[in-house]
A and B are shown apart, each in its own frame.
Chain A
């Protein structure tokens, strides 16, 4: 316990200086990636497809240790153990005796943060266990499944000073940089969604069959985070604006029955089982300052991935399968009301954080995620842990993103009635700066 307190004091007092000091003394390192006097200690809970990817990234970073791993599936657990050992680290302590063995891990281990990649329903309990045991927690999406869970995470964060976030998400992007420089004017409307045919994933026992249960029991916009974590900074939600209310509408549900019948025969129980989740859901959100957001959700019908579109008062940008990446800027684009390729703008406005970052030429990362070297999300996360600050995508923004799902369920169940959006910041959204304003201020400072 003493050791832990000492370490925390150290972070609190001199955290801001660490990265700089390390960079200055380590000639070969890229800023923020240097080995440190103090290792960052991580515990992994859930090391399946996505968890094993994150584990493999962590094992490739100098100064990051993995003393504990938790998974209910022995095969996944022992694969993780082997990877840690092969990376030259001490054999990790293993947890997985029961579905709640992560609680023992959180209580017994001395860690900076938990990386949680379980199935959805455990994300909130793992985050709570981490914070109540003096640890931060980075979650895969979605952070929560109910409004109560969201409030509990926010309140526990405020009480303990520890955080649970969708900390692999980055608020800073070429788009937010473009908006900061005024290219699109004021944002009027955004559209995005999770439009991804997951019928196979929901039925395949080797993939994520637990997802199917959500389609059986729930009806709403169940996977809002991938698009929303991009749009929250674009719309300044929780940073000068906030979501006011939403309405949500679902279509009828036929696809999963038909898929079960086609794959397993008409006698299969799922060929006739009632599925609550409509095959398509559309949710409309409005901010108090009058921005709008159309959020689509469809993991049941056959389609290429969806399209993202951001409309401002001075222009519009659109990307996705089938359209590539296109932009139109009023008075700037060469042809009136015709798209042009967005590539040169995206390059010109590439975010400084990304421009200055080199992921390195590491080996190929195993697990579900891909790529080589250290992805910028992990670089930023470890930097935040070293500096003793919350991850770039913070608790309020994370809770806001994931709570869309239970709110949309309420709306759908009430014939698309309007549902008020909770203000997790309790008024702080008025003072919280837009992310790019904060970033540029910090640069000047």
Chain B
């Protein structure tokens, strides 16, 4: 395999010759807002090739093709013959990894097709919509040695200059004590995005048919590392509650007219969901979800035995209170100096290169995102992304579990142990 890749690299010419000598070959499935961001990031790397693209909307496919060509790379092979053409791409192409940015329901099928064709996969959130999908991803990874992960999730590594990774380092330094409780969520008014003519109208289908905590992964990208879930602890149970639904009907009536079918279509999804998750060692998570009501974005709060951290819209800047350390008793102070003093080595040492262009939907500004820097290194070195298959499916599984609980009057639901006991011996979560 590696010999074959080296041969291909040699044939590909100087543009693809990386420092490591071995090009990384990526195929893209789904190249809309988020997919085009990732494609643009990938094209900024020397030694990264993009020989194949898959997208069912021809306009997007042709645009992606032109971006690849403009970057000086060979014209990629295009796949767009129906929704499942990614399967043909996975079986026919020689690739190190597939980057999947389709709508939600295709994430697991694309990942599985990749793994089964000897390719790694990186998916956008959520990586799975059902527990069966989550287990299948884990089992396929264990069988094939190829992984599927949320390895390009940016919240931990890149939000506010890597603040949450620095917070992890601050936890490791013992300043927060043991973590007791974390509260956060996806609180983001997406009424317009979900409506017909919006950027992701397929999201509305989930609001019509499902009721739970449907977008857990951005907050989970903080909870799992900060609480050592799957790394010395694990989630054991969950209860979930949804409010009544009505806001999406009201929004449709206001924007599309009272006669529009969506003004009266029954929406299963409650306008607010709160989910409580307990860990084996007695930590508790409050996971909120609200993409329907009008609001600024939500807060993240982490309570430890020695102190507490909070940030988000409305707080101004991130704040901290450390027992016996903060100058005023039981009063917040700015967290920035503590985060700065406890900078995570990965954040401290990362010297991002400028991106050649900045296109698509994503963070990182004009610099090469840390997530992409690490992913390419993983692929070159044969290592696993920082948020591995176990962490990734644990993150997304909160969604189907919450649906089960909501459907049964907030009944307690047991959280599967995707590591099958390995959480006891897996090292504390870290990024290197």
**Chain A residues near B (Cβ < 8 Å):** 186, 188-189, 197, 245, 247, 249-255, 258, 278-280, 282, 284, 286, 289-292, 294, 298, 301-305, 307, 311-316, 318, 321-323, 326, 328-330, 337-339, 415-418
A312, B237: Cβ atoms closer than 8 Å: no
B409, A302: Cβ atoms closer than 8 Å: no
Which residues from A are CB-within-8-Å of B237?
415-416
A245, B323: Cβ atoms closer than 8 Å: no
Rounded to whole angstroms, the CA-CA distance of A200 and B293 in the bound complex is: 40
Interface size on B, as a range, is 35 or more
Task: List the 4 closest pairs (A to B, CB-CB), nearest first.
Answer: A290-B244, A252-B282, A330-B294, A302-B323
A416, B278: Cβ atoms closer than 8 Å: yes
B39 at the interface (CB under 8 A from A): no
Which residues from B are CB-within-8-Å of A250?
284
**Chain B residues near A (Cβ < 8 Å):** 178, 180-181, 189, 237, 239, 241-247, 250, 270-272, 274, 276, 278, 281-284, 286, 290, 293-297, 299, 303-308, 310, 313-315, 319, 321-323, 330-332, 409-412
Q: Which B-chain residue is minimally distant from A291 (CB atoms)?
A: B243
Q: Count the A-B residue pairs with Cβ separation under 8 angstroms: how many? A: 163
B243, A286: Cβ atoms closer than 8 Å: yes
Given A286-B241, A294-B286, A316-B295, CB of A249 within 8 Å of CB of B310: no
Which residues from A are CB-within-8-Å of B286?
282, 294
Q: Which A-chain residue is minimally distant from B411 (CB atoms)?
A: A418
B271, A322: Cβ atoms closer than 8 Å: no
Question: B2 to chain A: closest CB distance in Å?
Answer: 48
Rounded to whole angstroms, the CA-CA distance of A338 and B237 in the bound complex is: 35
- Residue of B180, B246, B296, B409 near A186 (CB, 8 A) is B246
Rounded to whole angstroms, the CA-CA distance of A321 and B237 in the bound complex is: 31
A247, B239: Cβ atoms closer than 8 Å: yes
Which residues from A are CB-within-8-Å of B330?
197, 302-305
Question: A212 to chain B: closest CB distance in Å?
Answer: 18
Rounded to whole angstroms, the CA-CA distance of A64 and B101 in the bound complex is: 72
Rounded to whole angstroms, the CA-CA distance of A307 and B239 in the bound complex is: 22
Rounded to whole angstroms, the CA-CA distance of A252 and B304 in the bound complex is: 12
- Most chain A CB neighbours (cut-off 10 Å) among B293, B299, B330, B409: B293
Rounded to whole angstroms, the CA-CA distance of A279 and B303 in the bound complex is: 10
B295, A311: Cβ atoms closer than 8 Å: yes
Rounded to whole angstroms, the CA-CA distance of A290 and B292 in the bound complex is: 15
B296, A328: Cβ atoms closer than 8 Å: yes
A280, B247: Cβ atoms closer than 8 Å: no
15 contacts between A and B (CB under 8 A): A188-B272, A189-B243, A247-B239, A249-B239, A279-B305, A280-B180, A282-B276, A284-B239, A290-B245, A301-B304, A303-B330, A311-B293, A313-B294, A316-B296, A326-B314
A249, B276: Cβ atoms closer than 8 Å: yes
A337, B297: Cβ atoms closer than 8 Å: yes
Given A252-B282, A284-B276, A416-B412, CB of A298 within 8 Å of CB of B241: no
A322, B332: Cβ atoms closer than 8 Å: yes
Rounded to whole angstroms, the CA-CA distance of A275 and B64 in the bound complex is: 60
Question: A20 to chain B: closest CB distance in Å?
Answer: 43
Rounded to whole angstroms, the CA-CA distance of A301 and B304 in the bound complex is: 7
Which residues from A are CB-within-8-Å of B308?
301-304
Which residues from B are CB-within-8-Å of A255?
180, 305
Q: Which B-chain residue is minimally distant from A331 (CB atoms)?
A: B294
A286, B410: Cβ atoms closer than 8 Å: yes
B305, A316: Cβ atoms closer than 8 Å: no
Rounded to whole angstroms, the CA-CA distance of A286 and B243 in the bound complex is: 7
Which residues from A are CB-within-8-Å of B411?
417-418
- Residue of A252, A302, A314, A338 near B296 (CB, 8 A) is A338
Given A247-B276, A313-B293, A337-B296, CB of A252 within 8 Å of CB of B243: no
- Residue of B189, B244, B310 near A291 (CB, 8 A) is B244
Question: A363 to chain B: closest CB distance in Å?
Answer: 28
Rounded to whole angstroms, the CA-CA distance of A284 and B322 in the bound complex is: 28
A292, B274: Cβ atoms closer than 8 Å: yes
A188, B281: Cβ atoms closer than 8 Å: no
Which residues from B are CB-within-8-Å of A313?
246-247, 250, 271, 293-294
Which residues from B are CB-within-8-Å of A188?
243-244, 247, 271-272, 290, 293
- Residue of B283, B296, B332 near A304 (CB, 8 A) is B332
A251, B181: Cβ atoms closer than 8 Å: yes
A337, B247: Cβ atoms closer than 8 Å: no
A307, B299: Cβ atoms closer than 8 Å: yes
Which residues from B are CB-within-8-Å of A318?
314
Question: A284 to chain B: closest CB distance in Å?
Answer: 5
Question: B223 to chain A: closest CB distance in Å?
Answer: 14
B282, A337: Cβ atoms closer than 8 Å: no
Rounded to whole angstroms, the CA-CA distance of A253 and B284 in the bound complex is: 12
A339, B314: Cβ atoms closer than 8 Å: yes
B281, A252: Cβ atoms closer than 8 Å: yes
Rounded to whole angstroms, the CA-CA distance of A338 and B411 in the bound complex is: 35
Rounded to whole angstroms, the CA-CA distance of A338 and B315 in the bound complex is: 12
